[in-house]
Chain A
Amino acid sequence: MPTDRNADNYESVLTGASKDVASFEGEEKGFVGRLQEMLHATPSLVPLIVLVAAIIIFGIALGSKFFSPFALTLILQQVQIVGVLAAAQSLVILTAGIDLSVGALAVLSSVIMGQFTFRYGIPPAVSVMLGLTIGTAIGAISGWLVSRVKLPPFIVTLGMWQILLAANYLYSRNETIRSQDIETEAAFLQLLGVKFQAGGATFTLGVLLMVGLVAALAYALRSTAWGRHVYAVGDDPEAAELAGVNVHRTLMSVYMLVGFICALTGWVMIGRFGSVSPAVSTGMMGNIQSITAVVIGGISLFGGRGSIVGAFFGALIVGVFELGLRMAGANPQWTWLLIGALIIGAVSLDQWIRKVSQ
């Protein structure tokens, strides 16, 4: 045992060692390494490449039938519901959560907007506002259970999914509000279904809303303190808290915003379907469809990684596959087989990209 501190001189040899400890430049990694780093920095690149490749392949195979303004904008119309839901799902998944109730909340919100108008005679614009408010409030309940009661998001939203779906049938008394009735008495409810043409391309207000929403969220996530906090909370909540982020407030804001966007999806649904029905498939499938889009879009289910633009591309990829394979006359099961392969591929890629840090 050394009795003098100078006797412990093991570090003296370091004077001869290289001093550049804190050098931040990366060594040569070759093409694969650089690709890995590039994907690490821009995670939405992969879904974009897949999307463009799918459009080109279907375009070559099907010709102008597929590669036309009409067909391509039809895809946008077909994915608008899943696209908006995927935007909401992305926010939750970025915080390392998951929301199984997005579809059910969307359907319930559409039912609330419709029934408030037709059962109570509330002006449609006010009904829409109330629907959005209730959606936000339901999001707040989920957020509170996750953030304060510290329940796993999977459990909270699994329960919420069943509750909302049941409430949706109970409240609507399983009645559908017919499209013609809405058209004549409360056309405002169908506002997001309004179509306009631009050189063969057909857009609806719902499509514009989806694109605008994705752009706005992408901006907020990238360029505001709130967005950085969402990523930090998803990455490591304890670290974020110690670094001075209000984790509770961040989680609450995310779940409330998700509730709001789901209610917005309810409004988009009225525009798309024309009618208000408690039995639309979104209630059961909306969660899986949105999670699929998010995963294909390269957002990590472990939180803190990925971009919302990627999730939008993910939704479009599913839309392109569905329409392309249908036009090609293939059995629709091929769509799901390919989507399944894409999901597994996307997650494998995510694992590989994460290794850039090791």
Chain B
Amino acid sequence: MTTEPILSGRGLIKRFGKVTALDSCDFDLMPGEILAVIGDNGAGKSVMIKTLSGALQPDGGQVYVEGKPVNFQSPIDAREAGIETVYQTLAMSPALSIADNMFMGREIRKPGLVGQWFRKLDRPAMETFAREKLSELGLLTIQNINQAVETLSGGQRQGVAVARAAAFGSKVIILDEPTAALGVKESRKVLELILDVRSRGIPIILISHNMPHVFEVADRIHIHRLGRRLCVVDPKDYTMSDAVAFMTGAKEPPSEAVPA
């Protein structure tokens, strides 16, 4: 590939005491692709994702956005650079409404005096925007955008979290185990959402343990093992059992798939 990666990491190192969670790990996300990240428990997937999303700061190595080196000190920094993360816990406030949650930390204020002096929120604008974004992702059947998030089902919550990321993530969307807690039907809906987001040109990093899902939607699969990138494979060339074998060390990765 000749295009420049939109988000990449080189030689990332992260240690927790004596444990080396990231061992000079490399990472590349190309524009417009869905890159799945798979790996055994404890392989360091989550740590790598957290260094890319600003939740952790690496002890060594460098993260690049569109080729430019960046140093995220917090998830808010990464967000400002256009990288949105949907965490496994979803990071939503259950008692607040869908619209409140979508705009948490980036509320819109009313124009003019009311907004400036009384800091009044522009509820109608926020609600309209939230409704638009949910509809764009096919969550058309929302009756009440002011419904508390806790009254939604697991799949609906996931949908709102993905919609929030898709609405504001201008460059990259990171999804951490988006289908782990969901039923078959709800997982299907989230996978459709993921494909939908890609069709609008935003690349996605998908961390998942669910091989069928990974093989269905991913353009490339980053296999993580022992704190570093073992190889990147094309799901069309390999089977799920191959991937599991590489991931657990039961089989050597193909030499052509090992990154330089």
Question: Chain A: residues with CB nearer than 8 A to chain B?
Answer: 1-5, 8, 10-11, 14, 17, 20-26, 37, 40-41, 219-220, 223-226, 228-229, 231-232, 235-236, 238-245, 304-305, 356-357
Given A244-B75, A245-B104, A356-B151, residue A228 in contact with residue B96 (CB < 8 A) = yes
Inter-subunit contact B75/A242 (CB<8 Å):
yes
B156 touches A24 (CB 8 A): yes
Segment at the A interface, from B14-22, B28-36, B181-189, B201-209: B181-189
The answer to whether B66 has its CB under 8 Å from any CB of chain A is no
The CA-CA distance from A24 to B155 in the complex, in Å, is 11
Alpha-carbon gap, A46 to B123, bound state (A): 26
Contact in complex: B159, A22 (CB < 8 Å): yes
5 contacts between A and B (CB under 8 A): A5-B211, A14-B188, A17-B185, A25-B143, A239-B92
Additional A-B contacts beyond A24-B139, A226-B119 (4; CB < 8 A): A3-B241, A242-B87, A242-B91, A305-B95
Interchain CA distance A304-B92 in the complex, whole Å: 12
A243 touches B143 (CB 8 A): no
Residue total for B at the interface (Cβ-Cβ under 8 A): 54
Residues of B within 8 A of A26 (CB): 151
- B151 touching A235 by the CB < 8 A rule? no
Residues on B with beta carbons closer than 8 Å to the beta carbon of A37: 151
Asked if B215 and A5 sit within 8 Å, CB to CB, the answer is yes
Given contacts A8-B212, A236-B93, contact A22 B139 (CB under 8 A): yes
Q: A22 and B93 in contact (CB under 8 A), knowing A224-B121, A243-B104?
A: no
Query: Which residue of chain B has its CB nearest to the CB of A354?
Result: B150
Q: Which B residue's beta carbon lies closest to that of A4?
A: B239
Write the chain A residue with the least CB distance to B122.
A223
Contact between chains at A21 and B96 (CB < 8 Å): no
B79 CB to nearest A CB, Å: 6
**Given A232-B104, A357-B151, A240 and B93 contact (CB-CB distance below 8 Å):** yes
Please tell me if B89 contacts chain A, counting CB pairs below 8 Å: yes
Of the residues B105, B109, B156, B184, contact of A11 by C-beta under 8 Å: B184
Given A21-B185, A22-B189, A236-B94, decide whether A244 and B104 contact each other with a Cβ distance below 8 A: yes
- Cβ of A7 to closest chain B Cβ, rounded Å: 9
Q: Which residues of B contact A1 (CB under 8 A)?
A: 241
Find the residue from B155, B156, B240 having the highest chain A CB count within 10 A: B240
Interface contact B185-A14, CB-CB below 8 Å: yes
- Give CA–CA (A215, B221) in the complex, Å: 56
CB proximity to A under 8 Å, residues B100-157? 100-101, 104-107, 109, 118-121, 123, 138-144, 147-148, 150-152, 155-156
Which residues does chain A contribute within 8 Å of B79, judged by CB atoms? Answer: 244
CB of B54 to closest CB in A, whole Å: 10
Residue of B nearest to A9 (CB): B212
The reply to whether A239 and B151 contact each other, CB–CB distance below 8 Å, is: no
Task: Determine the chain B residues whose CB is within 8 A of the CB of A14 once the complex forms.
Answer: 184-185, 188
Distance from A351 Cβ to chain B, minimum over Cβ atoms (Å): 14
Q: B6 within 8 Å of A by Cβ?
A: no
Question: In the assembled complex, which residues on chain A have CB atoms less than 8 Å from the CB atom of B56?
Answer: none
Nearest chain B residue, comparing its CB with the CB of A43: B95
Question: Of B87, B101, B109, B140, which contacts A225 at CB under 8 A?
Answer: B109
Out of B85, B89, B104, B138, which one reaches A22, CB within 8 Å?
B138
B-side contacts of A20, CB under 8 Å? 141
- The 4 A-B pairs of least Cβ separation, nearest first, read A244-B105, A357-B150, A242-B91, A225-B107
Instruction: Check if B121 sits within 8 Å of A225, measured CB to CB.
Output: yes
* Nearest-CB residue, chain B, relative to A228: B100
Q: Do B241 and A2 have beta carbons less than 8 Å apart? A: yes
Give Cα distance in the complex from A305 to B91, angstroms.
17
A239–B91 contact, CB under 8 A? yes
Contact A243 B151 (CB under 8 A): no
Q: How distant is the Cα of A357 from the Cα of B185 in the complex, in angstroms?
A: 20
Closest approach, in angstroms, between the C-beta of A216 and any C-beta of chain B? Answer: 10
Distance from A227 Cβ to chain B, minimum over Cβ atoms (Å): 9
Complex alpha-carbon distance, A243 and B94, angstroms? 13
Contacts of A239 in B (CB 8 A): 89-93
| Cβ–Cβ < 8 Å partners of B100 in chain A | 228, 232
